[in-house]
Structure 1
Amino acid sequence: MLAHVPPRIRLDAEHTAIRPLTPSDATEFAEAVIANRPHTSPWEPIHAEAHYTRAGQLETLQRDVEAWELGTGYAFAVLDRGAGDAIIGRMALGNVVRGAWRNATLGYWVSAAAGGRGHATSAVRLICEFAFDHAGLHRVQPAVIPRNVRSIRVVEKSGFRREGRALKYLNINGVWEDHEIFAMTLEDWEAARGDR
């Protein structure tokens, strides 16, 4: 195992928690992915139908474990503590690069049924804690489609700054979409923590 691979830990807030996803989550996670297909598909790449099956999610979760072991990505289940730790979404640091950059991109979704209750904002804050306090990253960078107002609100409430717009940044649902680029650095995180 590589020296910079962080431990697979759970982090808790008052109503929300995150913990690493594992292949043993395949059934529950697939149910959440399938149930939220109409909610998430406008914001995601086009997926093969296999993505919306237990077998497809098992394969994804196995790749997540491999990425963690390589130190290239860290995928978490978002949990609703008030509902017995039910899986209500996914939060992931991807494209992790070390060296002089020490950066990761941030992607996430929270189920439609759990939306509007602060779970996404809490989970984003928890993954920032993981990124800066456990994974040794210097920068975390979410990119959000400009019309995704709810997601922009989540990253702004979580303390990310808007850095600009990247044109035709990602192919989402079959269309090359512009994205607003947000970022937080370790210095931003430490300054915000000092204010708490």
Structure 2
Amino acid sequence: MAATDYLEHGPRVAVRRVRRQDYAELSALRRESAEMLRRWLGDREMTVEAFEDSLERFEQPTHEGFVICRHDTGAIVGGVNINNIVRGSLQCGTLGYTAYASTTGRGYLTEGLRLVLRYAFGPLGLHRLEANIQPENTPSLRLVERLGFRREGYSVAFQFIDGEWRDHERWAVTAEAAGRSSRGVEP
């Protein structure tokens, strides 16, 4: 992949927009990670139709879709999206992300999300990002805390996953807070 296709670069990973050609790799990663992800995302298979729907959503100004790739191999090691982007006086969005079983625990997602924050608070012009995380998802809670997010609240029955309404903690970071945090990212 040409270096110009990447939006942001870090020491080990880079971030680019998700594209149609990623389906086979993302589908395989999703299958190999199904057991790890089931608890948090439910039992969802990545069909071609679902993937195409995602790509269509990412063409809208209210959604952005990214993949995190290793520099040395170009392999995808994480997926990130910013949904529900609101412009005007808010300039905010909701952050979602996915790790994969074969690469979890190596810091790729942390590094990649720092790059996404830099892009979101830079070229995308956002001021605030929110992440909603199930209270039992300790690795995800630790991740956003490392990135400078602060816990803002608790949302009861927030999201319908795998047949039940699940509570979530609400975490957020602003461009200023991310820039001040040594754990965050310079906008």
| Common topology (TM > 0.5) | yes
- 2:162 pairs with 1:173: yes
Among 27, 30, 38, the residue aligned to 1:30: 27
- The number of equivalent residue pairs is 181
Q: How many Å separate the matches in 1 of 2:185 and 2:70?
A: 27
Q: TM-score, normalised by structure 1?
A: 0.84
Q: 1:100 to 1:75 in 2, by over 3 A?
A: same
Does structure 1 retain, via aligned residues, the 8 Å contact 2:117–2:185?
Answer: no
Q: 1:42 to 1:195 in 2, by over 3 A?
A: closer
Give the alignment's Cα RMSD to 1 decimal.
2.1
Among 71, 78, 85, the residue aligned to 1:81: 71
Q: CA deviation at 1:80?
A: 2.3
Q: CA deviation at 1:155?
A: 0.3
Does structure 2 retain, via aligned residues, the 8 Å contact 1:46–1:174?
Answer: no
SS at match of 1:100: coil
- For 2:17, the equivalent position in structure 1 comes to 20
Q: TM-score, normalised by structure 2?
A: 0.87
- For 2:59, the equivalent position in structure 1 comes to 66
Q: 1:19 to 1:168 in 2, by over 3 A?
A: same
Report the more deviating stretch, 85-94 or 144-153.
Answer: 85-94
Q: 1:176 to 1:195 in 2, by over 3 A?
A: closer
Q: How many Å separate the matches in 2 of 1:176 and 1:122?
A: 31
Q: How many Å separate the matches in 2 of 1:80 and 1:24?
A: 17
Q: CA deviation at 1:60?
A: 3.6
- For 1:4, the equivalent position in structure 2 comes to none
Structure 1: 5+ residue stretches without partners: 1-7
Q: How many Å separate the matches in 2 of 1:114 and 1:158?
A: 19
Does structure 1 retain, via aligned residues, the 8 Å contact 2:178–2:185?
Answer: no
Q: CA deviation at 1:115?
A: 0.8
Among 41, 55, 59, the residue aligned to 1:44: 41
Richer in helix (by share) = 1
Report percent identity of matched pairs: 31
